[in-house]
Amino acid sequence: MSGRLPLWRRLRRWFWYQVAVTMLAAVHAMPPTAGRRLCRSLAAVGLRLRRRERELARRNLTLVYPQRSLAWREDLLGEAAAALGENLYAALTVERQAARGFPSVVEAAGPDGCGLVDRLRDLQQARRGVILLAAHIGCWELLGAWLAARLDRPAVITGTVRNPAVDHLLQARRRRLGLEPLPRDAGARPLLRALARGAVVGVLIDQNTGAANIEAPFLGHPAPTPAGPLRVAKRYDVPLVPAALVREDDRWVVRHLAAIEPAAAPDVAALATVCNAALARFVRRNPAQWVWFHDRWGLQARTRRVS
């Protein structure tokens, strides 16, 4: 398939694959302080050079925080870029952290009085499969690896990177860490199989994927929300546990909220509203650690239609 692509596109894919491999090797060869500084610097440079993402983040911040001053939002934008650098470093070094037993990760008790892992195991024993409801906040790659070291073959629904070599690199790395990637574009069957064997399946629903979305409020505004996993949860009464791994001082903290019971929601739209509200709590508490650079509310698409 790649042979049919124009030469410039094949060269671009090759270039970005080399960048990914080089970054992995470079960060692993560096002391942690230098590696983190490099990743934070790259994020700061990206904020300066990527005008489209920078302006989109500004529009998103204005949408969610209209009452705040421009200076406050600009400070938060800078903090978000710095946090993205921290997340990048944690994601690149996740195998090193796994080999050392994740010394920088701690587990906080949730509203049920226990940690996330114990809560998930309890639900598995009572209900078999469980959906871990997550968002692009903190280092979600590190959260998945940390869970894989404590649970039996957890799975995660993943998008497909449009660069096949980079996608293979990413998915192979997840498998080495003990995760089972479930391609989003494969439909519901992989999710159903994983739940049938009693797995914990990670699902991130805080981005506009463009496929099988329904509108549900997120941070106070209607947002396209992936409906497929929520339909499965509703139909088969699969509990959803909202969780996040956030940076607090010099450590990563695993936090979770009370399990969401699909039977309590009258339909999938209502369930999406409840799930979005839970994830929004994590964002409100840690706004700098969420990825504001994504077109969550479809603002770019609306601008194109108007123009």
Asked if 179 and 246 sit in the same domain, the reply is yes
Report the candidate in 205, 203, 243 with the shortest Cα–Cα distance to residue 117.
Answer: 243
pLDDT score at 306: 41
Asked if 270 and 132 sit in the same domain, the reply is yes
Within the chain, which residues score under 70 in pLDDT? 1-3, 300-307
Any domain includes 295: no
Which residues make beta-bridge pairs with 246? 253
Any domain includes 304: no
pLDDT score at 102: 96
Among 77, 95, 113, give the residue marking a domain's end: 95
Note down the domain range covering 204: 104-289
Asked if 81 and 108 sit in the same domain, the reply is no
Asked if 91 and 110 sit in the same domain, the reply is no
In whole angstroms, what is the distance from residue 46 CA to residue 85 CA?
10
Asked if 83 and 11 sit in the same domain, the reply is yes
Cα 158 to its chain centre, rounded Å, is 10
Asked if 23 and 167 sit in the same domain, the reply is no
Any domain includes 302: no
Asked if 46 and 147 sit in the same domain, the reply is no
Predicted structure pTM score: 0.92
Asked if 113 and 86 sit in the same domain, the reply is no
pLDDT score at 4: 79
Long-range contact set of residues 221-226: C-beta below 8 Å, sequence gap at least 24: 221/63, 221/64, 221/297, 222/297, 223/276, 223/296, 223/297, 223/298, 224/297, 224/298, 225/272, 225/275, 225/276
Asked if 207 and 129 sit in the same domain, the reply is yes
Any domain includes 193: yes
Asked if 126 and 224 sit in the same domain, the reply is yes
Asked if 162 and 276 sit in the same domain, the reply is yes
Count how many domains the chain has. Answer: 2
pLDDT score at 127: 77
Any domain includes 270: yes
Any domain includes 136: yes
pLDDT score at 128: 78
pLDDT in tens, 165-193: 999 999 999 999 999 999 988 888 999 99
Any domain includes 82: yes
Any domain includes 207: yes
Asked if 73 and 131 sit in the same domain, the reply is no
